Amino acid sequence: MIISMSEQATEQEIDHVIQRIEECGFQAHVVRGTERTIIGAVGSGERRSELMALRAAPGVADIVPIAHPFKLVGRQIKQGQTIVNVRGVPIGGPDIVMIAGPCSVESRDQLLETARAVRAAGATMLRGGAYKPRTSPYDFQGLGLEALELLREAREETGLPIVTEVMSEADVDTVAEYADMLQVGARNMQNYALLRRIATTKHPVLLKRSPAATVKEWLLAAEYLLAGGNPNVVLCERGIKTFVTEMRNTLDLAAVALAKELSHLPVIVDPSHGTGRRSLIPAASRAAVAIGADGLIVEVHPCPERALSDGEQSLDFAGFAQLTASLSEPVRKLAVVTSEVAMSTT
Interface contacts to ligand PEP, rule CB under 6 A? 103, 129, 133, 185-187, 208, 238, 273
- Our CB check for Mn ion shows the closer of 106 and 310 to be 310
How far apart, in whole angstroms, are the C-alpha atoms of residue 75 and residue 184?
Answer: 23
How far apart, in whole angstroms, are the C-alpha atoms of residue 256 and residue 287?
Answer: 11
Q: Please report which residue ranges of 159-252 form alpha helices under DSSP H.
A: 172-178, 192-199, 215-227
The partner in contact with residue 294, picked from ligand PEP, Mn ion, none with C-beta cut-offs of 5 to 8 angstroms by kind, is none
How far apart, in whole angstroms, are the C-alpha atoms of residue 79 and residue 263?
Answer: 9
How far apart, in whole angstroms, are the C-alpha atoms of residue 151 and residue 108?
Answer: 9
Q: Is 297 in the site for Mn ion (CB under 5 A)?
A: no
Query: Site for Mn ion (CB under 5 A): which residue of 17, 201, 310, 314?
Result: 310
Q: Is 103 in the site for Mn ion (CB under 5 A)?
A: yes
* Smallest gap from residue 232 Cβ to Mn ion (A): 23
Q: Return the amino acid letter for 33.
A: G
How far apart, in whole angstroms, are the C-alpha atoms of residue 291 and residue 4?
Answer: 32
C-alpha angle with apex 311: 307 to 313, nearest 5 degrees? 155
- Our CB check for Mn ion shows the closer of 180 and 310 to be 310
- Our CB check for ligand PEP shows the closer of 133 and 229 to be 133
- Our CB check for Mn ion shows the closer of 140 and 178 to be 140
* Smallest gap from residue 140 Cβ to ligand PEP (A): 12
- Our CB check for ligand PEP shows the closer of 43 and 128 to be 128
* Smallest gap from residue 83 Cβ to ligand PEP (A): 23
Q: Return the amino acid letter for 150.
A: L
The partner in contact with residue 186, picked from ligand PEP, Mn ion, none with C-beta cut-offs of 5 to 8 angstroms by kind, is ligand PEP
The partner in contact with residue 133, picked from ligand PEP, Mn ion, none with C-beta cut-offs of 5 to 8 angstroms by kind, is ligand PEP
How far apart, in whole angstroms, are the C-alpha atoms of residue 311 and residue 334?
Answer: 33
* Smallest gap from residue 118 Cβ to Mn ion (A): 15
- Do residues 105 and 147 lie in contact, with contact meaning Cβ atoms separated by under 8 Å? yes
- Our CB check for ligand PEP shows the closer of 42 and 99 to be 99
Q: What does each C-alpha distance from 134 to 305, 308, 315 come to in angstroms?
A: 18, 11, 20
Q: Which stretch binds Mn ion (CB under 5 A): 78-86, 96-104, 174-182, 212-220?
A: 96-104
